[in-house]
C-alpha cells in the first residue's frame, strides 16, 4: 500500500474544490493507498468528509512557527510516507516539510527555489486553470489525462435540509431560483452591495416569478443587512453550513457571484454561474466547466492579485466598471438556456 502525503496549506474553500480532480486521480491510481492531506485549519472540517482523503493533517501553527514546523516534520516522518505531492503552487515550506521528514519521492512545481527539495519537478505554468496546474504535477508520477471534472461532497441529508429550509421560506419545489452570493474573502474582489440591490430590483421587474436567495457565510451577514428590507430576496446568509450550501446552489437555476469559494462550489454542483472578476485572472480561477459566464473589464492594472487596491485615481475600478444592466442581461440569458435544457 502506498502512503501518500498531499501538501496544500494555502488553499481556501475554492482551492479545495479545484484540488478534487487531482486527489481523485491519485486515489484511482493508488486505490489501496492511505492519502493524507496537509492543509490549513480553515478548510479542515470541509475536507474531513472528502471522498478521496483518508486523513487530514492540520498545519495550525498554534505552537509558534518553529515548534509547529518541528512537530509537523516529526508527524510526517513517523507516518513513513512513500510519496509527497506538493500541490501548493508556490510555498517553499510545503516542499521543505517532506524533505526534512525524509519522504523518498517528492514531486511538485519548480518555483521559488524549491526544486532542490524535490526528487521530481516541473516548471510552473500560471497561464492555465488551477485545476490543470494541480494535474500537471501528477504527470511527474505518470498520471496522465486524468478526468478533470469537479465534484462536491454534500449528501442527501444536506439536500433534505435545503428542501425544508426553502419550504419554510415559501419557495415551492417547482419555483426557479437565482442565488446571489454577496461576499468573497478579499474586499478587492467584492461588487458593491448597491449593485446587488439594483440587480434584485431589475429581476423582480423583468421576471417576478423568479425567486432570489442571498447566500454567504455567517461572517457576511453584515452585507445582507445592508440591503433594504423591502427587497424581494430571501436572506439565507449564514443559515447553511458549507455542505448545505452546495445543496442549495445545486437547487438554483443560476448563481451570480464574485470570485469566491461558493463560485467554485456552484460550478462543481453543475449550476450555471455568472462570475464577476476584478483583481484575479479568470484564466486561472474562472468557474470550471461549461455553461458559465465571466464578466470582466479591461482595466490596465488587472489582474493585480492585491487584497488592498493601490489605485489612487479610481479605487476598485476593475469591479466598479462592471455594470448591473450587463449582468442582468447575462442572468436572463442563462435562465432562458436553463429553461430550454430542462
- Report the share of the chain in percent with pLDDT over 70: 98
Please, what is the average pLDDT of the chain? 95
Per-residue pLDDT at 117: 98
* Class at the top of the CATH hierarchy for domain 156-341: alpha beta
Q: What is the CATH number of domain 3-141?
A: 3.40.50.2000
Q: Is the pLDDT of residue 80 over 90?
A: yes
**Cα separation values, 226 from 79, 196, 249, 257, 328, Å:** 49, 11, 22, 17, 21
Q: Where are the domains of the chain?
A: 3-141, 156-341
Dihedral, CA of residue 289, residue 56, residue 160 and residue 235, to nearest 10 = -70
For the segment 198-248, what is each residue's pLDDT rounded down to a tens digit?
A: 999 999 999 999 999 999 988 899 888 888 988 999 999 999 999 999 999
187: which DSSP letter?
A: G
Q: From CA 55, how far away is CA 52, in angstroms rounded?
A: 9
In which band, very low, low, confident or very high, does the pLDDT at 66 lie, cut at 50, 70 and 90?
A: confident
- Report the share of the chain in percent with pLDDT over 90: 89
Q: What average pLDDT score do residues 31-46 get?
A: 96
In which band, very low, low, confident or very high, does the pLDDT at 302 lie, cut at 50, 70 and 90?
A: very high
In CATH terms, are 3-141 and 156-341 the same topology?
Answer: yes
129: which DSSP letter?
A: -
Q: Is the pLDDT of residue 341 over 80?
A: no
* Residues 160 and 44 sit within 8 Å (Cβ to Cβ): no
Q: Is the pLDDT of residue 94 over 90?
A: yes
Q: Is the pLDDT of residue 6 over 60?
A: yes
Q: Is the pLDDT of residue 96 over 70?
A: yes
259: which DSSP letter?
A: S
Q: What average pLDDT score do residues 287-313 get?
A: 96
**Cα separation values, 126 from 53, 132, 134, 281, 329, Å:** 26, 10, 11, 10, 31
In which band, very low, low, confident or very high, does the pLDDT at 340 lie, cut at 50, 70 and 90?
A: low
Per-residue pLDDT at 203: 96
Per-residue pLDDT at 342: 53
Q: What average pLDDT score do residues 288-316 get?
A: 96
Per-residue pLDDT at 65: 74
Per-residue pLDDT at 246: 98
pTM value is 0.95
Sequence-ordered list of residues with C-beta below 8 angstroms from that of 6, at least 6 positions apart, any chain: 19, 22, 23, 26, 35, 36, 37, 38, 84, 85, 87
Output phi, psi for 263, to 5 deg: -60, -45
Question: In the chain, what is the straight-line distance between the N-terminal and C-terminal CA atoms, in Å?
Answer: 45
Q: From CA 143, how far away is CA 136, in angstroms rounded?
A: 9
For the segment 101-154, what is each residue's pLDDT rounded down to a tens digit?
A: 999 999 999 999 999 999 999 999 999 999 999 999 999 999 998 999 999 999
Per-residue pLDDT at 337: 83
Q: Is the pLDDT of residue 97 over 60?
A: yes
Amino acid at each position: 500500500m502506498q502512503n501518500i502525503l498531499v501538501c496544500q496549506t494555502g488553499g481556501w474553500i475554492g482551492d479545495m474544490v479545484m484540488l478534487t480532480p487531482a486527489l481523485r486521480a491519485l486515489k484511482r491510481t493508488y486505490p489501496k493507498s492511505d492519502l493524507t492531506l496537509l492543509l490549513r485549519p480553515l478548510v479542515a472540517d470541509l475536507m474531513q468528509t472528502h471522498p478521496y482523503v483518508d486523513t487530514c493533517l492540520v498545519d495550525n501553527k498554534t505552537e509558534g512557527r518553529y515548534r509547529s514546523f518541528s512537530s509537523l516534520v516529526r508527524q510526517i516522518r513517523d507516518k513513513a510516507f512513500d510519496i509527497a505531492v506538493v500541490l501548493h503552487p508556490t510555498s517553499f515550506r510545503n516542499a521543505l516539510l517532506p524533505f526534512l521528514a525524509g519522504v523518498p519521492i517528492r514531486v511538485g512545481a519548480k518555483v521559488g527555489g524549491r526544486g532542490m527539495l524535490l526528487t521530481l519537478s516541473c516548471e510552473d505554468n500560471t497561464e492555465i486553470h488551477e485545476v490543470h496546474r494541480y494535474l500537471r504535477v501528477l504527470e511527474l508520477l505518470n498520471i496522465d489525462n486524468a478526468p478533470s471534472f469537479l465534484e462536491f461532497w454534500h449528501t442527501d441529508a444536506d439536500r433534505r435540509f435545503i428542501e425544508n429550509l426553502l419550504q419554510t421560506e415559501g419557495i415551492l419545489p417547482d419555483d426557479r431560483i437565482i442565488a446571489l452570493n454577496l461576499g468573497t474573502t478579499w474586499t478587492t474582489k467584492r461588487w458593491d452591495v448597491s449593485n446587488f440591490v439594483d440587480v434584485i430590483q431589475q429581476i423582480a421587474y423583468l421576471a417576478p416569478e423568479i425567486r432570489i436567495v442571498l447566500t454567504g457565510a455567517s461572517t457576511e451577514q453584515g452585507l445582507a443587512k445592508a440591503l433594504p428590507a423591502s427587497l424581494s430576496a430571501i436572506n439565507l446568509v449564514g443559515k447553511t453550513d458549507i455542505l448545505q450550501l452546495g445543496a442549495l446552489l445545486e437547487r438554483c437555476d443560476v448563481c451570480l457571484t464574485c470570485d469566491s469559494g461558493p463560485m467554485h462550489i456552484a460550478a462543481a454542483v453543475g449550476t450555471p454561474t455568472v462570475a464577476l472578476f476584478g483583481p484575479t485572472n479568470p484564466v486561472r480561477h474562472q468557474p470550471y466547466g461549461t455553461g458559465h459566464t465571466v464578466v470582466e473589464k479591461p482595466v490596465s492594472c488587472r489582474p493585480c492579485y492585491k487584497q488592498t487596491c493601490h489605485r489612487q485615481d479610481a479605487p476598485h475600478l476593475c469591479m466598479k466598471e462592471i455594470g448591473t444592466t450587463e449582468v442582468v442581461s447575462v442572468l436572463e440569458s442563462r435562465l432562458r438556456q436553463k429553461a430550454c435544457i430542462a
